[in-house]
C-alpha cells in the first residue's frame, strides 16, 4: 500500500458522510454555508497542480452559494493521480463537499491499463479545465543526448513518478516507437523530487508539464542548464516553437497515430470534477462557480502573478472527450498499450 493510498484513506475518513434524506432537502446556499469543501489533488505539494488548485480554491468559494471554504489536500504524484480517481469513485461520499483534480493522463490510463483502473471517468461530472497541459521531456545540460535523435544513440537516465504518469509515459512511448534509449527510473514522489534528483546528478532528465519546468526551473532554463527536447501535445508550445511534438519525431504512421492518441491527454490539463451522483442543484452550482472563477479578475491576476496560464475548457467538452477516449477503436488502444 503506497503513501498516497494511506493518505487518501485518512482524508476520506475525515470527510464523514451526510445523510442523503436530510442533505438533499436543503437549498444549496443553506447546505454550503459554514462548511468546507475538500479539494483532493493527485500531485505533490508545491508542484504546478498544487499551485493551480490553491489559486482556484482561494477564489472559487466566493462564487458558490453559501461561500464555503475550499481546503486543498495533495496526495502525492507517484500514482499518477490514481488514488484520487479511485477515492472519488469508491470512497468519497457524493455530497458535493469534495472536488478533485488528478493528473491529465487519468482518462487514458483507464483504457490503457484497465486492470489497474478501479474507477470510471464516465461517472464523473466535470466542472471544467483551467488550462491544457503540454507535457514534454527535458534533459540536463550534461546528458550525452540533447535531442530525440541523439537519444537513439546514447542512454539517458530519466526520472519518473509511476507508470501511470506522463513522466513515464512520454519517454516510454519514444523508446517503443521512435527507438530512443531512455532509461526510466520510477519511484519519485513528484516534480519537486525529480528536480532535486536531477540537480544531484541521480537522473539526467524528466518529463511532466512544461509549465512545471517554467515555474520550478526558470533559472535553469534561462541559464541553458536544461532544455525541452519534445512535447507530448498536438501542437508546438508557443514559448518553445523550435521544439518538435512527439508525433513529429515518429519515424512511421503507426508511431504518429499512437502519439496523436496519447496527446489527447493534454486537453484535460488542470481539470476539476465531482461525482455524477452529486445532486443536480449542487453540481450545477459548483460548475457555475468554477466558470465564474475563470472570469474573476482577482483570480486571473493571481494566476498571472504565479505565471499560471488560464485557457478554460467547459465541463461538457471534457465529458465528450472522455467518451471519445473510452470508446476509441480497439486497434488504436492496442497500439497505445
208, 167 contact by CB (below 8 A): yes
For residue 5, name the pLDDT band (cuts at 50, 70, 90): low
Q: How far apart are CA 89 and CA 40, in angstroms?
A: 13
Q: Is pLDDT of 160 > 60?
A: yes
Q: Is pLDDT of 6 > 90?
A: no
182, 155 contact by CB (below 8 A): yes
Task: Quickly name the fold that domain 135-264 has.
Answer: D-Maltodextrin-Binding Protein; domain 2 (3.40.190)
pTM for this model (two decimals): 0.74
Within 10 A of 201 (CB to CB), how many other CB atoms are there? Answer: 10
What pLDDT, in 10s, does the model give residues 26-56? 899 999 999 999 999 998 888 889 999 999 9
266, 104 contact by CB (below 8 A): yes
Task: DSSP for 20-61, please give it.
Answer: HHHHTTS-HHHHHTT-EEEEEESS-TTSHHHHHHHHHHHHHG
Which residues lie across from 38 on neighbouring strands?
71, 98
**What pLDDT was estimated at residue 20?**
45
Q: How far apart are CA 50 and CA 191, in angstroms?
A: 11
What pLDDT, in 10s, does the model give residues 273-311? 999 999 999 999 999 999 999 999 999 999 999 989 898
Q: At 313, which helix (H) or strand (E)?
A: strand 313-314
Q: What is the mean pLDDT of residues 242-265?
A: 92
**What pLDDT was estimated at residue 259?**
92
Give the percent of the chain with pLDDT over 90: 71
Architecture per CATH, domain 3-132+268-336, reads as: 3-Layer(aba) Sandwich (3.40)
Closest CA relative to residue 271, chosen from 74, 100, 120, 122: 100
Are 3-132+268-336 and 135-264 equal in CATH topology? yes
**What pLDDT was estimated at residue 15?**
57
**What pLDDT was estimated at residue 191?**
92
Q: What is the mean pLDDT of residues 18-22?
A: 43
Domain definitions of the chain by residue range: 3-132+268-336, 135-264
**What pLDDT was estimated at residue 110?**
92
Where b means 16+ CB within 10 Å and e means fewer, 145-182 reads bbebebbbeeebbbbbbbbbbbbbbbbbbbbebbbbeb
**What pLDDT was estimated at residue 7?**
61
Amino acid at each position: 500500500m503506497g503513501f498516497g493510498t494511506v493518505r487518501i484513506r485518512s482524508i476520506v475518513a475525515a470527510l464523514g458522510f451526510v445523510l442523503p434524506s436530510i442533505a438533499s432537502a436543503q437549498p444549496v446556499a443553506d447546505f454550503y454555508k459554514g462548511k468546507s469543501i475538500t479539494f483532493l489533488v493527485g500531485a505533490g505539494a508545491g508542484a504546478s497542480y498544487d499551485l493551480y488548485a490553491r489559486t482556484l480554491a482561494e477564489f472559487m468559494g466566493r462564487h458558490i452559494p453559501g461561500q464555503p471554504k475550499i481546503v486543498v489536500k495533495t496526495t502525492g504524484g507517484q500514482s499518477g493521480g490514481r488514488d484520487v480517481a479511485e477515492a472519488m469513485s469508491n470512497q468519497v461520499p457524493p455530497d458535493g463537499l469534495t472536488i478533485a483534480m488528478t493528473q491529465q493522463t487519468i482518462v487514458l490510463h483507464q483504457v490503457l491499463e484497465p486492470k489497474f483502473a478501479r474507477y470510471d471517468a464516465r461517472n464523473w461530472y466535470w466542472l471544467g479545465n483551467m488550462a491544457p497541459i503540454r507535457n514534454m521531456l527535458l534533459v540536463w545540460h550534461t546528458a550525452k543526448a540533447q535531442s530525440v535523435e541523439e537519444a537513439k544513440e546514447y542512454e539517458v537516465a530519466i526520472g519518473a513518478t509511476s507508470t501511470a504518469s506522463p513522466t513515464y509515459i512520454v519517454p516510454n512511448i519514444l523508446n517503443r516507437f521512435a527507438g530512443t534509449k531512455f532509461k526510466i527510473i520510477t519511484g519519485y514522489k513528484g516534480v519537486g523530487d525529480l528536480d532535486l534528483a536531477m540537480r544531484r546528478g541521480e537522473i539526467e532528465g524528466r518529463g511532466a508539464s512544461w509549465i512545471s519546468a517554467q515555474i520550478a526551473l526558470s533559472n535553469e532554463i534561462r541559464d541553458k542548464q536544461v532544455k525541452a527536447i519534445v512535447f507530448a501535445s498536438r501542437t508546438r508550445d508557443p514559448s518553445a516553437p523550435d521544439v518538435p511534438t512527439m508525433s513529429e519525431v515518429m519515424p512511421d504512421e503507426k508511431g504518429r497515430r499512437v502519439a496523436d492518441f496519447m496527446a489527447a491527454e493534454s486537453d484535460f490539463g488542470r481539470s476539476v470534477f465531482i461525482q455524477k451522483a452529486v445532486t443536480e442543484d449542487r453540481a450545477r452550482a459548483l460548475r457555475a462557480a468554477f466558470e465564474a472563477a475563470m472570469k474573476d479578475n482577482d483570480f486571473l491576476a493571481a494566476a498571472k502573478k504565479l505565471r499560471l496560464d488560464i485557457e478554460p475548457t467547459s465541463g461538457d467538452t471534457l465529458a465528450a472527450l472522455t467518451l471519445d477516449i473510452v470508446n476509441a477503436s480497439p486497434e488504436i488502444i492496442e497500439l497505445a498499450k
